[in-house]
Amino acid sequence: MKYIITTIKLVSVGLFLTTSVFAQVRDSTQRKDAKVPDWAALRYYQEANGQAQLNSPKENRVVFMGNSITEGWSRVDPEFFNQHKNYINRGISGQTTPQMLIRFRQDVINLKPKIVVILGGTNDIAGNTGPATTDEIFGNLVSMMELAKANRIKVIISSVLPVYDYPWKKGAEPVTRIAELNERLKLYAKQEHIVYLDYYSAMKDDRKGLKENLSADGVHPNIAGYKIMEPLLEKAIKSTP
């Protein structure tokens, strides 16, 4: 009888401890889930991607992958995108190339475009998600290009726009790094027979920053800036083999 009671007590203690452990694990998981942000903004275009599959013309679809310079394009000059129903803007403000790379499948590949226009790297140089070497930035952009090519998507790789200084990161000294990254992208594009879209040369001033009349903050184009970019973009699209 004493043995049975002892066994029951042990089983009860075991069940209590097991329940407590599971409860702690569950609570810990719930707390972690509540704190984990959507770092790459995978949900940002989730609904829009479904709509794009239904409403955007499937023929000659062009997806724009980028940061605030890309996202802001639709806001600053909406008429440009209204005139091109096959253009799909997938820019997200503040993003760096590792974030763009993570969401590249759902925001580009799954939309099955004919062409992807990639513009990124300036926020990496500004350190938006921490320090990044030019090699790392270049590698992320190359990875996106390789993913596109593997899925039979034509690539247009854009130069990083000129910046003399970042308003939110004074002293980052981007001039040299932007020029270096652009040279590497240009060379890679030539070697891989990819179209290189050179916004940089058309928009830089004597200091190798963005021309004053093309931007209010020295980083993001205004309507005049986008009007410089648009014919260059359309020429690049037409020249894509």
Domain ranges of the chain: 1-36, 46-239
Ordered mean pLDDT values, 10 residues apiece, the chain (241 residues) = 48 46 44 67 95 85 98 98 97 98 98 98 97 98 99 99 96 95 99 98 98 98 99 98 82
pLDDT of 17 reads: 43
pTM: 0.84
**Element (H or E) spanning 32, and its range?**
helix 2-35
Classified by CATH at the fold level, domain 46-239 comes out as Rossmann fold (3.40.50)
- pLDDT tens per residue, range 176-199: 999 999 999 999 999 999 999 999
Q: What is the DSSP string of 160-202?
A: PPP-S-BTTBTT--HHHHHHHHHHHHHHHHHHHT-EEE--HHH
